[in-house]
Structures are given as structure tokens and as C-alpha cells.
Copies of this chain bind each other. A is one copy, B any other.
Amino acid sequence: MSAYDELMAFQRETEALGQVMGRLGWDQETVMPPGAAEQRAEEMAALDGVLHRRRTDPRIGEWLEAARPESAEAERQLHKIRHRFERTRRVPEKLSAALARTTSLAHRIWAEARATDDYALFAPKLAEVLGLAREKAAALSEDGNLYNALLDDYEPGATEAELEAMFGALRPRLVALRERVMGSDREVPRLGWRFDEAGQLALSTELARAFGYDSAHGRIDKAVHPFSSGSGLDVRITTRTVPEDPFNCFFSTIHEVGHACYEQGIDAAYLLTPLGRGVSMGVHESQSRIYENQLGRSRAFTGWLFGRMRDTFGDFGIGDGETFYAVANRCAPGFIRTEADEVHYNLHVLLRFDLERDLIAGRLEVPDLPEAWNARFEADFGLKVDRPSNGVLQDVHWSEALFGYFPTYTLGNVYAGCLHAALRRDVPDLDAHLARGVTAPATAWLREKVQRYGGLYEPRDVITRATGEAPGEGPLLDYLDAKFGEIYGV
């Protein structure tokens, strides 16, 4: 066997073990008996140890040195392996273990602090996590910018400067749109009805199928928080139901189907290789968001959904498709990011992006974080945060040291905007299909242009190749202005 083949065989086993780790996570959130948590933690820690030892195995260095790739794809596989190997090695074992231990503890304390609305309980642990994250960033940094070093875990190649420029252009137009919408005198009602769980789950499964989710290589279960999990031939999603809010179920299913279809759509030749997973969190989120919003919440598709909901639940008090479309896109400021509409969502993310950069750069201290959060929130949303669980304690990310993760949500929306503009150009009659509940012309386009490549190209390049131009915030803003300007008559 050549060094390349040996390396890839070793890597393939590591990828397979990584999938096992993902499956344990799935199991934990869906079917695990309540009393098994303690044992599960040991199982996952043991497997994590195995993965860590494999990822730092010195033979990888030798194989990388000796490997002679014979194709551009092989070159790219090596690049991905080398990049990961070097980053893993640069973090001292002791720091890595401290991060694992501290985030595990911090996660539990965060959950307790959120439940009891007690930021002071969480603050000391967050300060510890932040300190370790900064240490890690310093160990990884190539250009002296700590935030860039962290970003790379989620969005390889992205930089703070580039995101700052993009988000800086995004923010004023978003704020302006939000103000117009909030100033509108058009009243969009909420759904005022209870929708039975069986009906929601049946329609949710129908939606997953309509968006191309392949159930032969996945399954749908209920979980407290919807998620997608796994790559290759086993990509599972979860959903949830809320009696008075079936959109929560339907659009989170479509969102997770977007993630899952990305994984399911990757070229089978990349199975269990570094190219066999979505290339970045941003590109991943572009798929989930375009499925959920640009397609799922479009006028055409909601027209079809309105009919299916009437078939399933009977008359639920909305008389026509136009009203239903507005209801499905209703805008209102709220405290919680994950419940935000398309207009407000990115403002939630930008707030976190700015605050976490300040934390990492040392411009903001942990004790001062709630005040900074609340001030910014009131300025952006016109609402006073009433308690920490509606503010700084709402998201899990920082307790897990995921600094650099948040911006990928907005980057995903920006990418979705670019892809959507190109898709509409390439498939001019898309609405005629969506109006019949048929998404195939869109999902096939996304598979062809984005999904099948997996990790073959750099994230930005995936979007550039798919759309013919470098990604920017313009298309997303144009889309939002047009859509919400029309719905709210502003």
C-alpha cells in the first residue's frame, strides 16, 4: 500500500468512529433511558479519547510527508487531513483536556443558571471557559488574530475582517427594514388554534419527503431540540411539536432536512473521507435556511402548505392563502434567537458576533456581559431584556467554548441569499412547481451546484462556483426588502 492509501485507510476508520460518536449523541437526545446519562458520559469520553489519540497519531505526520497524491481530489483530501492534524497538534494535550473538562462542567452550570435565571452562577465558569478558549486561540493563531484562529473550526478560510465588512454592510439595511416593518399598520394575525400532534407529525413527514429527504438513509424522531446528525448513509433528523404552533414543527423539519439533504447529497465516492461531510457551518446553514425560508416560506410553497394543513386539520381560522402566507412570515421582535423571523434573525446573530469578538479580544469582561447584551438588544430590538434566560443565558454556545460559531448562522443566510438569486435565474418557473408542493427543481439544483461536492472546495468557492460570483450580502437584503416590503406594504 502507498503512504496515501495507508493514510486514507486509517482516516476512513477515524471517520467511521466519528460517525459512531454522532450516533451516541443522537441516541442520547432521542431514545436513551433517563437513568443512563452517567454511563453514557463515560462511553462518549472513552470514544472521544480514542478519536483524540487517532487524530494526533504521529503516523499521520509520516504518511502526510510520504504521500504522493495522484489527483486534485486526493490533494484536497490531504489538505483537509493536514489542516486538521496540525491544528489538533498545536493545542497542548493539557489544554485540550482542560477545555473538555471545563466545558462539560460549564454546560451543566449554564443549564442550571438558565433555569434559575442566575447569571452570577454562570459567570465564573464562563470566565474560565473564555480564558481557555483564548489560550487555545493563541496556540492556533497564525496571524496574531485570536478570533480568526477560532473561526477556522467552523468556517475554514473566513476572517474576522471579512465578516465585519459584510455584516457592517448588512446591519444598517436590516435595521432600516425592521423599522419599516414595525412601523407598518398592516396587522398580521397569529395562528389561533390547537393542532393535534399526530397531524403535525404526519404532515412533517410529508414535508421531509417533499423536500427530498431520503428515509432509506435516515429517520425522523422527536427530540426536545430539532437537529440533524450523521453523514453518508445514515443521516437522521429530529423534530418537535407545539400544539398552538405547527410552524415550529414544519419549518424546523424543513430546516433540518436542508442540513440532512446536504449530507445525503454528497458524492458517494467521498463516503467516510474528509470530503464526505458538509464543508463548513456557513454552507451547511445556507442549505437549511434556503430550504426553510426562501423555499419553504415562499408564497408559492405556503399556498400548497395551506391546502395540506386544511386537509389535515380542517378549517383553522385562516380564510385564504395570502393571509396564510403573511402569517407564516409574521414579523415581531422577540428575545429568543431561535424563534426569530427572517427580518430579526440576523440582528440576533450580529449582536452575539460583536460581543464575542469583544470577549475574545479582551475589550469586554465576563461580569459586564449582561449589561452590554441588554443595551445592545434594546437598541436593536426596542425591547428591554426582562431576565437573563431571555438574554445572555439563552444560547448554549459559549458554555461549550464555541466562540466563532455564531457568525456562521448569518453567513449561511447570506449564502442562501446568493444561491436563491442564482436558483431563480436558472429555474424561472420554480414557483409553478412550489405551488404544487414540488421542490425537486430547486433541491436538484442545490444538489448539483452545492451539495454533491462535500468538502471538495473551500466554502466561499462553493458559493462562487454555484452562483457565478463572489458571495455578498446584497441578494439576501434585496430578497428580504422585497418580500417583507410587500407583506407589510412598506
Q: Are the CB atoms of B272 and A32 closer together than 8 Å?
A: no
Which residues of chain B are near A12, meaning CB under 8 Å? 42, 46
A-B contact pairs, 6 of them (CB 8 A): A12-B46, A17-B46, A20-B20, A33-B216, A35-B233, A40-B234
Q: Are the CB atoms of A35 and B217 closer together than 8 Å?
A: yes
Contact mask A135-169 → B, CB, 8 Å, 1/0?
00000000000000000000000000000000000
Which residues of chain B are near A23, meaning CB under 8 Å? 23-24, 27, 43
Contact mask A1-24 → B, CB, 8 Å, 1/0?
000000000001110110110011
Q: Are the CB atoms of B216 and A39 closer together than 8 Å?
A: no
**Distance in Å from the Cβ of A268 to the closest Cβ of chain B?**
10
Q: Are the CB atoms of A33 and B272 closer together than 8 Å?
A: no
Q: Are the CB atoms of B43 and A16 closer together than 8 Å?
A: yes
- Whether A36 is near chain B, meaning CB under 8 Å from some CB there, is yes
**Distance in Å from the Cβ of A209 to the closest Cβ of chain B?**
14
Q: How far is the CA of A17 from the CA of B43 in the complex (A)?
A: 6
Counted per complex, copies of this chain come to 2
How many chain-A residues does the 8 Å CB contact rule pick out? 38
Of the candidates B42, B43, B234, B236, which one forms a contact with A39 in the assembled complex, judged by CB atoms under 8 Å apart? Answer: B234
- Whether A187 is near chain B, meaning CB under 8 Å from some CB there, is no
Q: Are the CB atoms of A20 and B24 closer together than 8 Å?
A: yes
Which residues of chain B are near A31, meaning CB under 8 Å? 31, 219
Which residues of chain B are near A49, meaning CB under 8 Å? 13
Q: Given A12-B42, A19-B43, A47-B17 in contact, is the A34-B234 Cβ separation under 8 Å?
A: no
Q: How far is the CA of A34 from the CA of B234 in the complex (A)?
A: 9
**Distance in Å from the Cβ of A260 to the closest Cβ of chain B?**
11
